[in-house]
């Protein structure tokens, strides 16, 4: 018991790491389930990065649509990333984070286009940004933002 009290900062560190791992992987699993389910539902909506040109009489309406999402890293992913900073190599713990953020952003964009009755989105662009720049610095946990935007087309 005394050893625990003497190394209190260490105990906090371990508790945070274990909590971060359980909560983080539960959240990730749930998120992926929801992403895959919604991607299936919205499969019919075409999203392309090409500009596309259509005869004017076929187009009823065009609109800018976008979807954005912010996802936070958890304490465990941060530890893995800090250790990676020593050795170099792929930061695998952040890969799923960015993947989730981009797919979620595209899904939200598609949902917004669907509400407007659009059948397809052209000229789609994706951008990623960090929120909380000091993500790897002391005691701060950063997040990633992904934003997807494009032109939704409502056909006649």
Q: Compute the distance between CA of residue 151 and CA of residue 62 in angstroms, rounded to an integer.
A: 7
Q: Which one, 84 or 114, has the nearer CB to other proteins?
A: 84
Q: Is 54 in the site for other proteins (CB under 8 A)?
A: no
30: its two tokens: 């749930």
Q: Which one, 13 or 54, has the nearer CB to other proteins?
A: 13
Among 2, 4, 5, 40, binds other proteins (CB under 8 A): 40
Among 18, 39, 129, 140, binds other proteins (CB under 8 A): 39
Q: How far is the CB of 27 from other proteins (least distance, A)?
A: 13
Q: Compute the distance between CA of residue 104 and CA of residue 101 in angstroms, rounded to an integer.
A: 5
> Could you count the other beta carbons within 10 Å of the beta carbon of residue 111?
15
Q: Compute the distance between CA of residue 101 and CA of residue 99 in angstroms, rounded to an integer.
A: 5
Q: Compute the distance between CA of residue 5 and CA of residue 100 in angstroms, rounded to an integer.
A: 39
Q: Is 61 in the site for other proteins (CB under 8 A)?
A: no
Please say whether the beta carbons of 95 and 27 come within 8 A. no
Please say whether the beta carbons of 108 and 67 come within 8 A. yes
Q: Is 25 in the site for other proteins (CB under 8 A)?
A: yes
Q: How far is the CB of 24 from other proteins (least distance, A)?
A: 9
- Give the interface with other proteins as residue ranges (CB under 8 A): 7, 9-10, 12-13, 21, 25, 36, 39-40, 43-44, 46, 48, 76-77, 79-80, 83-84, 86-87, 90, 92-93, 95-96, 98-99, 138
């Amino acid at each position: 018991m005394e050893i625990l009290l003497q190394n209190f900062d260490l105990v906090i560190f371990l508790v945070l790491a274990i909590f971060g791992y359980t909560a983080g992987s539960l959240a990730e699993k749930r998120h992926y389930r929801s992403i895959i389910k919604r991607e299936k539902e919205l499969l019919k909506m075409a999203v392309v990065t090409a500009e596309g040109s259509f005869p004017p009489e076929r187009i009823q309406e065009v609109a800018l649509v976008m979807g954005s999402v912010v996802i936070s890293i958890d304490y465990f992913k941060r530890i893995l990333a800090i250790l990676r900073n020593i050795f170099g190599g792929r930061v695998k713990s952040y890969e799923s984070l960015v993947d989730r953020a981009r797919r979620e952003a595209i899904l939200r964009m598609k949902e917004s286009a669907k509400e407007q009755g659009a059948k397809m989105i052209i000229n789609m662009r994706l951008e990623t940004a960090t929120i909380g720049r000091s993500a790897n610095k002391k005691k701060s946990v950063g997040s990633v933002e992904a934003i997807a935007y494009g032109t939704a087309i409502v056909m006649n």
